[in-house]
Each structure stands twice: as C-alpha cells, then as structure tokens.
Amino acid sequence: MEQYMLGTILATLLGIIGVYVFFLKKNGAKNNNDIGASTTTTTTNIDGECRSGEHSGNADVIIVGAGVAGAALAYTLGKDGRQIRVIERDLTEPDRIVGELLQPGGYLKLMELGLEDCVEKIDAQRVFGYALFKGGKNTRLSYPLEKFHSDVAGRSFHNGRFIQMMREKAATLPNVQLEQGSVTSLLEEKGAVKGVLFKNKSGEETKAYAPLTIVCDGCFSNLRRTLCEPKVEVPSCFVGLILENCQLPYVNHGHVILGDPSPVLFYQISSTEVRCLVDVPGQKVPSITSGEMANYLKTMVAPQVPTELHDAFIAAVDNGNIRTMPNRSMPAAPHPTPGALLMGDAFNMRHPLTGGGMTVALSDIVVLRNLLKPLRDLHDAPTLCKYLECFYTLRKPVASTINTLAGALYKVFSASSDEARTEMRQACFDYLSLGGVFSTGPVALLSGLNPRPLSLVCHFFAVAIYGVGRLLLPFPSPKRMWIGVRLIYSASGIIFPIIKAEGFRQMFFPNTVPAYYRTPPE
C-alpha cells in the first residue's frame, strides 16, 4: 500500500512537472500548407441524377455540394419551408473509401433531422463498439447504449449508397432543387456574398442568387479560401481494400489493430464485405502500379492482421483493387462573411481514425437549423452574419471533443521509437482494457454520446498518469522516473496544440464568449 501511495504521489508530481516543462518549451504554431484547394471541372455523366420540381423565383439558400452535409442540410432547411437550390459537381453515386462509419451520436442527430430511414435498404450494418488488438492481445469496447432506444447504434455502409438515399429524400421536397454543375466562384457585392457563378452540365456559365450561400463542397473545396483560414495538414494516407466473405473476430464491432507503424482498421460495410483501411504515415504511399504497395501490404501489414482475417486480406491484395486517400486535418478558423457560411469537410476536418466526421457535420446542421428556424427573412446579410457568429461557439462541444480525440488518438496509437510514446501507447491499451468507466468513458466521447471536452482531457491525462504509475511500481528507478516525466511531457505535447487550434475559451468556457448569447434579429 505504501509503495502504491508513493507511486501515486510521484506520478502526480511528475504530471505537474511535465505540464510545466511543456508550457516552457512549447514551440510556435506549425507551418501548415493548404493543399485542399482544387479546380473543379464540368462533368457530363448524369446517370442517377436526382431531380425535384422546378420552383419559381430566387432561392432562399444556395447549397454548394450534395455530399453528406449538403444533402442533409438541403432536406433539413427544405422541410422548414425554405426554397433551396443545391448545386453538386456530380450527382452520380460517389465511390469513396472513407465516410463509411456513422457513430451512435451521429445516428441520434440523423434521427433528430428525420433522416434515419436513409440507412435502411442500403445493407447498412449495426455497430455496437470496437475491438482493439495489440501484440497478440485484444479487448472489446462497447458503446454505452443502455439508456437509448434499441435502434440506436452505430451504422457502417457504402458511403455512396448513403449519400444517394439522402439526395433522393431531399429531392422529394417540392421546394428543393438539385442540379448538376461546377461552382467556380462566389458572387460578391459590397463585401457580401450574393450567390455563385457555376458551369451547368452543358458547360454554360450561369449565375445563381440567394441571400444565403452555404458551401459544403468537401475536403477538396476550392471556395474555402475566402471564408476561412485554411491550415490543412496531411498526417497520413489511408490505403483501402475490401475483404469479401469473411467474418470479423467480433461481429458488429469496428476493429482497430495497433500496428507498426500505425493503425489498421476493419469494419463491415455490407453483409458480405469488410472494409480494411491501412494507415500509412506521411503524404506519400508505395506505388500501386509497380507492385510496391502489394509487397508492402503482404510483408509489413499482413503479419499484424488477426489470423481470422489473414487469408481474406491476402486475397484482397491479390485482387488488386487497392485505393488510397490522403487523411486531412483542418481546424475550424472561419472568416465571418455576410451572405455565406462554410460547413462539412470544407470547413473542419479531423483524422478519420475515429469515424467522427459525419457526426460533426450532422451536429452542425442541427445547430444551424435551430438558429435559422425563427428567422423569416435572410436578406439582411450583415445582421444575419453577426447573429450566426454564435454558430461557431454552439457547435464547439461536439466538434471540439471529436476533433481533439481523433487527433490525440492517432498520435497515441501510432508506433514510435521514443520510449515515452511507446509507454503511452501501451498505457492507453491497458487503460481501456480495465473496463467500467475506464472504457465506457472514452468510448462515449469517441461515439459522440458524451460531447464534453473536459471529460476528454481528464481521461487523456488519466491514461498518462496511469502510464507513469506503471513505470514507478513496484519501485521507481531513476530511468523509469525520467521516462515518466517524458511521458507526461509527450502527452501534453500531443493534446495542448490541438486544444489551442480548437480554441481554449470556446472549447471549455463557451458561455463566456459574447456570441454565445446572440438573439435572433427581428
């Protein structure tokens, strides 16, 4: 008992020292490059185009993009009676390797928006938690769903099928118009956005006007530069495969392998298909065409895959349908602009390891819908812009919790040559394996069911303190004490820059931000 008390006291002191040292040595902001800008092109493929009846007069809201955020927003605002015009570059079914897991918190928002039927009839799979694998050991982490309706769970699916269902649902509203076109720029007049300039599917330049333009054109947005301060980081790339006719070790659970050099994910996206995402650090991946990628997957990744999935993994590699996707991270740094608003991945991105992107987008839509609902007229752009500044604060509990957790977990789950980081990684696995509040607390944060930033920080440093305790017991040696100090310092270096990017005041004390109390204009 005395050794335990000594270890606890020393761990606490080391924690305080580590945080103090971190603040003394913390570097300035990193040099971030915006690689998200791209040039859109006109598409002529219109198979599967969703249409709704034409309406007369100008729209109340123009939505650029009809992905998860754009389609859900179109239906939500259209259901409130507004005239909505959606302009999407390509209305055919998307084919992506991300955006395939909706957390339970996101499903609750889907229900709140009346879109829960969009995960039906697409062979979506229910998800009840995660399984972690490390060094031959594994542990199961279940979502804390006891207090919710039996239908509430995560959902995994083909991203394109889900988006098409939401587009079709939005198009059933007579006041929602979906059309195919590539938006090239925003139309501005006297500092306010009045609409957009776009090329329709025939290649003709056309102008569309509305008192409010909402840009949801995704991670490759070519419009975000004028509406936010884009600081895009690409910490890694996902290599995507589909495993067929195999069964996961834990049915209806996502699987995370804490591999070397970084995590590997498996989750069911249909009754016969398992998605595999291999994280490759950095912006470059081995060449697919030369066979370098297949060799990497077979020699480096396959030995770390659970035995139940090994043969199916090798077969998927041999099949050759290997795809890649850069993983982007971008904190929300808006430039409030009269007449325009950014949403979705065009506005805010986080590492997709935790599958929280759609949850953040749907939560943002709920916040925006509630803010716009009491407004009859959107034409006073400066007043509306001032009022909507509260959107950036009201979204913070959900967005900042998921963003911070995604960034922190990716760094903790990645292998490192640093002893302190290695100890932190092992401590995280062991902490989650304890069960009870030690697993349900972090999983509630990850799933969007408990959007509390303070709870996230407490659990994060509890993992660090737990790791230090493991080092100091049964007897603290000088080397272990030094590793413990570095562990706390490393943990601080992981989470505090993310919190700084999210905004400390908005994240932890939103009610002290003046915009928090904005009332709807008359």
Enumerate the domain spans of the chain: 2-30+412-508, 53-122+157-231+330-394, 233-329
- State which fold the 233-329 domain adopts: D-Amino Acid Oxidase; Chain A, domain 2 (3.30.9)
Q: Return the pLDDT at 391.
A: 96
> Which is nearest to 106 in space by CA: 35, 157, 64?
157
Long-range CB contacts (within 8 A, 24+) of 476-479 = 476/6, 476/7, 476/10
> Which is nearest to 358 in space by CA: 325, 388, 398?
398
Helix %, strand %, coil % of the chain (to 5): 45, 20, 35
- pTM comes to 0.88
Instruction: Kindly give the interhelix angle for 396-413 and 419-433, rounded to the nearest 10 degrees.
Output: 120
* Distance separating alpha carbons of residues 39 and 49, to the nearest angstrom: 22
Residue 87 pairs in a beta bridge with 64, 179
Q: Mind listing the pLDDT tens digit of every residue in the chain (522 residues)? A: 334 333 443 444 444 444 333 443 444 433 434 433 333 333 323 334 444 334 334 899 999 999 999 999 999 999 999 999 999 999 999 999 999 999 999 999 999 999 999 999 999 999 999 999 999 999 999 999 999 999 999 999 999 999 999 999 999 999 999 999 999 999 999 999 999 999 999 999 999 999 999 999 999 999 999 999 999 999 999 999 999 989 999 999 999 999 999 999 999 999 999 999 999 999 999 999 999 999 999 999 999 999 999 999 999 999 999 999 999 999 999 999 999 999 999 999 999 999 999 999 999 999 999 999 999 999 999 999 999 999 999 999 999 999 999 999 999 999 999 999 999 999 999 999 999 999 999 999 999 999 999 999 999 999 999 999 999 998 889 999 999 999 999 999 999 999 999 999 999 999 999 888 888 987
Q: Return the pLDDT at 19.
A: 37
> Which is nearest to 463 in space by CA: 433, 506, 483?
433
Q: Return the pLDDT at 477.
A: 93
The first and second tokens of residue 485, run together, are 């100090």
Q: Do domains 53-122+157-231+330-394 and 233-329 have the same CATH topology?
A: no
Q: Is 320 left (phi over 0), alpha (psi -120 to 50) or beta?
A: left
> Which is nearest to 463 in space by CA: 418, 429, 419?
429
Q: Return the pLDDT at 447.
A: 96
Contact indicator for 275, 295 with CB cutoff of 8 Å: no
* Distance separating alpha carbons of residues 309 and 305, to the nearest angstrom: 7
* Distance separating alpha carbons of residues 13 and 203, to the nearest angstrom: 66
Domain 53-122+157-231+330-394 belongs to what architecture?
3-Layer(bba) Sandwich (3.50)
Q: Return the pLDDT at 516.
A: 87
* Distance separating alpha carbons of residues 15 and 461, to the nearest angstrom: 8
> Which is nearest to 487 in space by CA: 420, 422, 441, 437?
420
> Which is nearest to 485 in space by CA: 432, 407, 418?
418
* Distance separating alpha carbons of residues 473 and 416, to the nearest angstrom: 23
Residue 165 pairs in a beta bridge with none
